[in-house]
Amino acid sequence: MPTDIQLWLLANHQKKVYELRESQNMKGLLPVSLKPDYDTESLLPALDASRVIKDPDEIDLIRRAIKVSSLAHRTVMHHITSMRSEAEVHALYLDICIAYGADWQAYPPIVASGANASILHYTDNNESLKGKTLLCLDAGCEWGCYSSDITRTFPLVANGWPSKEVAEIYAIVEEMQERSIAMLGPGVRYMDAFYLADRIAMKGLLRLGILRRGSVDEILSAGVSKAFFPHGLGHHMGLDVHDVSAKPILSSCRGEEQSMLDHSEKSLLRPTNEFMAPCRSDAALLEPGMVITVEPGIYFSQYALERVYLPNPEIASFIDEEVLKRYLHIGGVRIEDDILITKHGYENLTLTPKGKEMLDIIRDGAECHHGIEYRFRLDAKR
């Protein structure tokens, strides 16, 4: 009895069959007259390319995921001064997502307090908040299989930033993000936005005295920025939180695309000479319908600094260790939004507050807090 594939080959006289991988082919199962030419190289890139530009229905699903995630982030901010542990924050965030119909997360939430925020993909989420000053919440739910990806870093106290050093680093990261987003639009090379963020970070650290000599160009050429901004600016987002594409938007800077998107602690320890190559001229340009993230950060990983960067004389010569010590307690500051590229520019899809609005929510929450019966008072339309 002929199989469906055999009947299809007979009917269409097909001589080429496209497969994702060689293990899918039917060599040995088809008669000699039907054995086609198997192509296992072309189909996956074509599928990846088909996912880059989102249609209106896909964008609506992403909007819904972002709306629920933003509501969950806002609720955490409102109650953060009453939270006792990373686990409680994690539970509250998930509670809101599930209550509003988002049963699945796009990735394991990162609830990192204090020094844990210097671990880019920290997921233990089990430490006490006692004695900590900051929390980095990186979390996004799915809706209809489409992702969201939002990060906010905020204080654990109601009266604003806990120290001058924290406020200074947050201001630098906020500038990195705002100016990077402002330059996005169709025809823009995303790598240029990354380069801008990198330069802003190094200028900021020079201004604070953490970096003590050299021009920004010299600092970047020496690989110093990798010690404080160890990942790329962002990525495609869609069915996967790090969605696929036929051509990466980050290409050949500080090494290959994968090392740019590797958020593991291992990525902090790669030799710095991997991250000095310039951007290739064939890096992908942004197009209308792409949904990307913009997630700059500045980190103070004591582990990476002591193991890799400070023992390197070329890098250490740029760093003032005495000044650096005043900032180590921060751990890390990251801010992340989800951006839709439009015909005429971009739309920031993220509804989660940041900056002054974020601090106001934390303060207001501390003033009106009466336990954690939040679910009965929450305005679903906010």
pLDDT the model gives residue 200: 98
> Using 50, 70 and 90 to split pLDDT, how confident is the model at 98?
very high
> Using 50, 70 and 90 to split pLDDT, how confident is the model at 249?
confident
111-123: average pLDDT: 96
Distances (CA, A) of 308 to 206, 209, 305, 382: 20, 21, 6, 45
- Of the given ranges (7-21, 198-212, 213-227), which has the lowest mean pLDDT? 7-21
Spatial contact of 127 and 113, defined as CB atoms under 8 Å apart: yes
Percentage of the chain beyond pLDDT 90 is 74
> Using 50, 70 and 90 to split pLDDT, how confident is the model at 124?
very high
User: Helix axis angle, 190-208 relative to 164-182, nearest 10°?
Assistant: 160
pLDDT higher than 70, residue 361: yes
> Using 50, 70 and 90 to split pLDDT, how confident is the model at 271?
very low
pLDDT the model gives residue 128: 97
> How many other CB atoms are found less than 10 A from the CB of residue 370?
8
pLDDT the model gives residue 10: 63
Average pLDDT of the residues of the chain: 87
| Among 196, 198, 200, residue whose Cα is nearest residue 188 | 196
CA distance 92 to 106: 17
pLDDT the model gives residue 20: 85
pLDDT higher than 90, residue 28: no
> Using 50, 70 and 90 to split pLDDT, how confident is the model at 283?
confident
218-229: average pLDDT: 96
pLDDT tens profile 232-244: 999 999 999 999 9
Q: Which residue ranges make up each domain of the chain?
A: 4-41, 51-376
The pTM for the full model equals: 0.87
pLDDT higher than 80, residue 264: no
Tokens of 72: 């969950």
pLDDT higher than 70, residue 26: no
Tell which CATH architecture fits domain 51-376.
Alpha-Beta Complex (3.90)
pLDDT the model gives residue 380: 44
Per-residue 3-state assignment (H helix, E strand, C coil) for 275-319: HCCCCCCCCCECCCCCEEEECCEEECCHHHHHHHHCCCHHHHCCE
